[in-house]
DNA sequence: TGGATGACTTAAA
DNA sequence: ATTTAAGCCATCC
């Protein structure tokens, strides 16, 4: 399975009203330093993928070529109850804890602060 | 095969 | 709080 497919699979497990960071996704996939690649993968995500639930380490909507995407992301997040305070998601309140995400491989604790 | 490309991240200034 | 610089990486061409 390609890294990309794995990313999609994991993103689909993020519950409504919750968000994950690029780094978190990468870590959960066993590639703690592939955060950047995660973002790149989302660039070509299927239309039904809840890509809007992925934000950067600071809880903000990462800048991108087209502004429309950022707008959509903010709107979609708001629609499911994820509010942005000063332009950032309050991770302490909406961060996805991804428990049991990788029951198979051990020692993959998502390390975030 | 090799280099370019970002929806990243962290450390430092 | 902001900005810069430098790693890091799966894809794409």
Residues comprising chain A, all counted: 113
Report pLDDT for A100.
52
Report pLDDT for A89.
97
**∠ at Cα A107 (A102, A111), nearest 5°?**
85
Identify the bridge partners of residue A84 per DSSP, sorted by sequence position. Answer: A89
Which bases along strand B come within 7 Å of a protein CB atom? 5-10
A48-CA/C4-C1' distance, Å: 37
Report pLDDT for A109.
41
Q: What is the CATH number of domain A3-94?
A: 1.10.10.10
Report pLDDT for A53.
98
Q: What is the pLDDT of residues A68-110, one digit of tens each?
A: 999 999 999 999 999 999 999 999 999 999 865 443 333 334 4
Report pLDDT for A57.
98
Q: CA-CA distance, A64 to A70, in Å (whole number)?
A: 7
A112-CA/C6-C1' distance, Å: 22
Residue A35 CB closer than 7 angstroms to strand B? yes
**Cβ atoms A37, A22 nearer than 8 A:** no
Q: What is the pLDDT of residues A18-64, one digit of tens each?
A: 999 999 999 999 999 999 999 999 999 999 999 999 999 999 999 99
**Cβ atoms A19, A96 nearer than 8 A:** yes
The beta strands (E) that lie in A1-113 are given as 20-21, 54-55, 84-85, 88-89
């Amino acid at each position: 399975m390609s890294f990309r497919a794995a990313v999609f699979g994991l993103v689909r497990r993020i519950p409504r009203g919750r968000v994950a960071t690029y780094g978190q996704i990468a870590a959960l996939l066993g590639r703690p330093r592939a955060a950047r690649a995660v973002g790149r993968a989302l660039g070509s995500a299927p239309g039904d993928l809840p890509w809007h639930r992925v934000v950067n380490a600071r809880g903000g909507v990462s800048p991108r070529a087209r502004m429309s995407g950022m707008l959509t992301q903010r709107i979609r997040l708001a629609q499911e109850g994820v509010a942005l305070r000063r332009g950032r998601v309050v991770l302490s309140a909406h961060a996805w804890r991804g428990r049991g995400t990788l029951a198979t491989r051990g020692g993959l604790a998502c390390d975030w602060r």
